[in-house]
Amino acid sequence: GNLYLAEKLFEKTGVKNFFSVYEATIYSTLRNIKSSGAAEALSGPVERGDYETVAKHLKVLKENDKEAYLNYLIQSLNLLEVSKRKYRRLNKDHEEVRKLLINELKDFKSG
């Protein structure tokens, strides 16, 4: 489901061969998960607690694809739980990202 959604989003930007462009990244991710487990292999803006990048992603998705926006919100909250497992706790940057995600989810539900 996630790969289909990614393919759909990239097609909107004009990228036609999503899987050929991202095949190496997809397989590398799978190898990392196989060797280290999902929690240890986790990387990306949510795992880093990168508020600015997460906020930019949310803005673009909110303006362009509500389904992808909601999916990003929910999965990012789940990724914070994976980050907590990886690091045994969430740091202040993670907590700021969590607040952003929860506020966005509340706005989505009320709007």
Question: Could you report the per-residue pLDDT of 37-65, keeping only the tens digit for each?
Answer: 999 999 999 999 999 999 999 999 999 99
Q: Which domain covers residue 11, as residue numbers? A: 1-37
Q: Domain check: are 28 and 72 in the same one?
A: no
Burial class (CB in 10 A: 0-12, 13-18, 19+), 101: buried
Say if pTM beats, i.e. exceeds, 0.85. yes
Q: How many domains does the chain have?
A: 2
**How confident is the model at residue 111, as a pLDDT?**
74
Q: Domain check: are 75 and 98 in the same one?
A: yes
Q: Domain check: are 63 and 100 in the same one?
A: yes
Is residue 104 pLDDT above 90, yes or no? yes
Q: Domain check: are 47 and 31 in the same one?
A: no
Percent of the chain with pLDDT over 70: 100
Is residue 16 pLDDT above 90, yes or no? no
